[in-house]
């Protein structure tokens, strides 16, 4: 499997690039997100890649950032989502916005993305809701902080305080609460539900 490609960028379009690696030109399909980050022609470039075999050929997909590659692999793991649709999604929305949409169960926003209908959007939410939070974890905390309403933040803070009162360290309590919110797929749940699920997480460690 070709997981990375380094060489000289000799061709680029919004959907495909060609990279010269020691005299061999490798063509790779890309998203608009990657296209917008590419250097000028004849510059050195490094891409994270995924090689997907087809009946008539091997197709290479390139990504400027590792996290985009990880999201692509998650998307293509969903039933009914092929590489073309996955690239369309990555071309339609920023990665953090996509993560936010999935965490918030925002089926309407997903349906607006290229190649995604209602059934596909629902499958993405069902199959990726518990997985999307594991990709690029530092950004997930930022996403939750920026998108959840103040009342939901207060509920989560109350849950953290309750766990601390039970003897857990603050860092462990905060992590368990964040994991609970991601697992439940909703930030607007009661304090009792968050505490119960967070305790289950803490007791498993």
Q: Give pLDDT tens digits for 83-115.
A: 999 999 999 888 888 988 888 888 899 998 988
Question: Which two three-digit tokens encode residue 84?
Answer: 């073309």
Domain ranges of the chain: 4-63, 67-134, 148-203
Which residues lie closer than 8 Å to 150 by C-beta, 6 or more apart?
none
- Give the chain's residues under pLDDT 70: 1, 136-153, 182, 184-189, 205
- Closest listed residue to residue 128, CA positions, set 92, 95, 173: 95
Spell out the CATH class of 67-134. Answer: mainly alpha
Sequence-ordered list of residues with C-beta below 8 angstroms from that of 50, at least 6 positions apart, any chain: 3, 60, 61, 63, 69, 72, 73
Highest CATH level, class, for 4-63: mainly beta
The predicted structure's pLDDT at residue 188 = 55
> What integer best gives the mean pLDDT of the chain?
85
pLDDT for 96: 83
- pLDDT score of 136: 63
Q: Which fold has domain 148-203?
A: Helicase, Ruva Protein; domain 3 (1.10.8)
Q: DSSP assignment of 25-82, as one string?
A: EEEEE--HHHHTT---TTSEEEEEEEEEE-SS-EEEEEESSHHHHHHHHHHHTSTT--
């Amino acid at each position: 499997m070709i997981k990375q490609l380094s060489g000289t960028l000799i061709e680029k379009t919004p959907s495909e690039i060609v990279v010269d690696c020691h005299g061999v030109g490798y063509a790779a399909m890309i998203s608009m997100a990657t296209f917008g980050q590419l250097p000028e022609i004849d510059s050195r470039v490094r891409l994270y890649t995924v090689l997907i075999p087809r009946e008539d050929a091997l197709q290479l997909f390139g990504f400027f950032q590792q996290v985009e590659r990880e999201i692509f692999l998650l998307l293509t793991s969903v039933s009914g989502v092929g590489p073309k649709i996955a690239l369309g999604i990555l071309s339609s929305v920023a990665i953090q916005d996509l993560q936010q949409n999935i965490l918030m169960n925002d089926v309407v926003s997903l349906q607006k993305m290229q190649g995604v209908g209602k059934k596909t959007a629902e499958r993405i939410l069902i199959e990726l809701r518990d997985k999307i939070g594991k990709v690029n974890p530092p950004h997930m905390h930022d996403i939750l902080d920026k998108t959840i309403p103040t009342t939901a933040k207060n509920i989560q803070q109350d849950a953290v305080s309750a766990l601390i009162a039970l003897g857990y360290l603050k860092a462990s309590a905060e992590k368990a609460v964040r994991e609970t919110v991601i697992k439940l797929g909703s930030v607007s749940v009661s304090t009792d539900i968050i505490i119960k699920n967070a305790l289950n997480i803490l007791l498993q460690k």
